[in-house]
Amino acid sequence: MNTDRTDTDIEQRLRQQIVQIGQALYARGLIVAGDGNISVRLPDGTLLITPANLCKGMLVPDDMVVIDHDGQVLRSPNGHRQSTEQLLHLQVYRVRPEVQAVVHAHPPTAVAATLAGVDLDATLLPELLLTLGHVPTVPYALTGTRALAESITHVLSASDALLLSYHGALTVGNSLQRAFLRMEQVEHCARILLAAHQFGGARPLSADQLAPLHALHQQIRWQQAHERSEDL
């Protein structure tokens, strides 16, 4: 009984955190209208995910939907359908069992880079390399499809942030907060690189300068992966 009550408390807290992160994504212009989706693991292994066709900046806790790992709805207090991008989230949790949360958004500068065929190049920006590491761009696939979900499989193991060509970005973490902060960093770094190109082009770091940054990033990534989730 006590464990069940604790799990209920955790779920309610996570519902509220998704509301707050949806508001932050919306306020920062990383999503508009019904864009984006957010999910997190619950203590029993099921997933809490945002609903389809609602503005993620204007949700209430009971708007979130609980699904299993086959995408079946288990609970939906307000009667909503789960996100149309559930396959994308489910794929992350299958490939990365240590991941606790996923954020998918449409950060405009980062998305524009995919339209122009420009990668977020970690050799140009130490901040990008330290905080995010390699941010790959996966090929275009139709939103909401299994093809889109499968397109991320080969890069997930080495990346905590990636760009979906012509579509958006995906970030993961051991907590909702970590996944959100990585999304914020994706757009911030994209803006810096855009400004550098407008100034006439960025100057890449040398291999000797990059080596310690790579080592430090791996150390940071390992530490973050083994932190206890701030959500629980």
Q: What DSSP assignment string belongs to 167-214?
A: TEEEEEESSHHHHHHHHHHHHHHHHHHHHHHHTT---PPPHHHHHHHH
20: DSSP letter: H
Percent of the chain exceeding pLDDT 70 equals 95
Quick one: average pLDDT of 216-220? 78
Whether the predicted pLDDT of 2 surpasses 70: no
Among 58-62, 84-88, 164-168, 217-221, which stretch is predicted with the lowest mean pLDDT? 217-221
**Closest by alpha carbon to 178, among 91, 118, 62, 99?**
99
Quick one: average pLDDT of 59-72? 97
Per CATH, the number for 2-225 is: 3.40.225.10
**pLDDT value at residue 229:** 60
Whether the predicted pLDDT of 78 surpasses 90: yes
Q: Give the domain ranges of the chain.
A: 2-225
Percent of the chain exceeding pLDDT 90 equals 74
- Decide: pTM greater than 0.95: no
Whether the predicted pLDDT of 230 surpasses 70: no
**Closest by alpha carbon to 124, among 135, 138, 108?**
135
**pLDDT value at residue 5:** 65
Q: What burial class does residue 191 get, using C-beta atoms within 10 Å of its C-beta: 0-12 exposed, 13-18 middle, 19+ buried?
A: middle
pLDDT digits (tens, 9 = 90+) for 24-46: 999 999 999 999 999 999 999 99
pLDDT digits (tens, 9 = 90+) for 92-132: 999 999 999 999 999 999 999 999 999 887 677 888 888 88
Whether the predicted pLDDT of 182 surpasses 50: yes
Higher pLDDT, 146 or 222: 146
